[in-house]
Amino acid sequence: SSDRKARAKSPVFMTFDDIGGQERAKRELKEALDFIIRHEDIKKLGIRPLKGILLTGPPGTGKTLMAKAAAHYTNSVFMAASGSEFVEMYVGVGASRIRDLFKEARARAVKENKESAIVFIDEIDVIGGKREGGQQREYDQTLNQLLTEMDGIHTTESPRVLIMAATNRKEMLDSALLRPGRFDRHIEVDLPDKKGRLHILKIHAKNKPIAEDVDLEAVAKETFQFSGAQLESVMNEAAIYAMREQSETIKARHLSLAVDKVMLGEKTDRESTK
Ligand code: ATP
């Protein structure tokens, strides 16, 4: 799809420093990635290659950012797709799209002179959901193709391929995906705690004119259970309130209106889906 191509082409300049909070998740992910970078040692010790990393956690917590930062950290080509893109009317189309995705990742790595490629699949549960009662679905072939691609990855191969996937419904995944040699490394990306929220707010305040009366620590306290995406939204909405008032800086009042707006927006969203 053109959507996927657009995303694949957008430059990846995301580093772990651009991700607020998530200290444990970042550490675990880096540890896993170090295995990929130190592949000579891994080979010597006969360690099974790491093929798949699954990121789990609520929406908007930074799973996509993590995958992009992983690509930067390992100097890999980054290719992204979403599980929902593979749900097709015609049998076989999803499977050939998966095949193309991996082919393109390898081709790009060669072309860009990189030793590795990361293929990121968001909403993996859409194609990798549990298969119950032997029921056949049109996208089973897609899942089978993904498993085939994973099984075909070798440590000695160049470029090396790593698959990262994200879901907020881990319990829905088919056990075939979770077997050793597939997505056998799981990293939880939770809602940020207060310290994490402050860090995220600071990241998104960086390029904004913040007034002297603003206490980001107080905002972090007020935004209990907000995701990173919601905190980004708070900073953006606050800037819009400031603009409406033709204020040159973002003041505490704008931020507090923005917090209410994002909190209320979420509530009405939830109510309307009931
Ligand atoms: P989903 O499950 O809905 O796909 P996700 O976990 O992949 O969500 P991202 O797409 O990574 O979430 O995050 C969405 C946006 O929210 C980011 O582009 C960023 O602006 C902001 N954001 C989320 N988490 C963080 C974070 N930890 N630090 C800084 N910004 C964040």
pLDDT of residue 268: 56
Question: Residue 118: CB partners within 8 Å, gap ≥ 6?
Answer: 67, 70, 71, 74, 76, 77, 78, 79, 105, 161, 162, 163, 164
Alpha carbon separation from 93 to 96, 145, 185 (Å, rounded): 5, 11, 29
| Token couple for 94 | 């999803």
Place of tokens 């990241």: 203
How far does the centroid of ligand 1 lie from the alpha carbon of residue 89, in Å?
30
Residue whose Cα lies nearest atom 8 of ligand 1: it is 60
How far does the centroid of ligand 1 lie from the alpha carbon of residue 62, in Å?
3
How far does the centroid of ligand 1 lie from the alpha carbon of residue 172, in Å?
22
Which DSSP helix (H) or strand (E) runs through 32?
helix 23-37
How far does the centroid of ligand 1 lie from the alpha carbon of residue 222, in Å?
19
pLDDT of residue 47: 77
Residue whose Cα lies nearest atom 2 of ligand 1: it is 59
Residue whose Cα lies nearest atom 15 of ligand 1: it is 229
Number of residues that this document lists for the chain: 274
Rg (the chain; Cα; Å): 21
pLDDT of residue 140: 82
How far does the centroid of ligand 1 lie from the alpha carbon of residue 196, in Å?
13
Q: What atom in ligand 1 is closest to the CA of residue 196? A: 27
How far does the centroid of ligand 1 lie from the alpha carbon of residue 199, in Å?
13
List, chain by chain if needed, residues with CB within 6 Å of any ligand 1 atom.
19-22, 59-65, 122, 166, 168, 200, 203, 228-229, 232
Q: What atom in ligand 1 is closest to the CA of residue 58? A: 2
Determine if the peptide bond prior to 49 is cis (ω within 30°).
Answer: no
pTM of the model: 0.88
Nearest to 68 by CA among 145, 136, 7, 1: 7
Pocket test for ligand 1, best of 10, 65, 195 (most atoms within 8 A of CB): 65
* Complex ipTM: 0.96
- pLDDT tens per residue, the chain (274 residues)? 444 444 444 444 789 999 999 999 999 999 999 877 777 777 788 777 788 999 999 999 999 999 999 999 999 999 999 998 887 657 788 889 999 999 999 999 999 999 899 999 999 999 887 766 555 555 588 899 999 999 888 766 788 899 999 999 988 898 889 988 899 899 999 999 999 999 999 999 999 999 999 999 999 999 999 999 999 999 999 999 999 999 999 999 999 999 999 999 866 554 444 3
Place of tokens 């980054």: 78
Q: What atom in ligand 1 is closest to the CA of residue 122? A: 4
Return the SS3 of 222: helix
CB-neighbour burial class of residue 156 (10 A; exposed 0-12, middle 13-18, buried 19+): exposed
How far does the centroid of ligand 1 lie from the alpha carbon of residue 154, in Å?
31
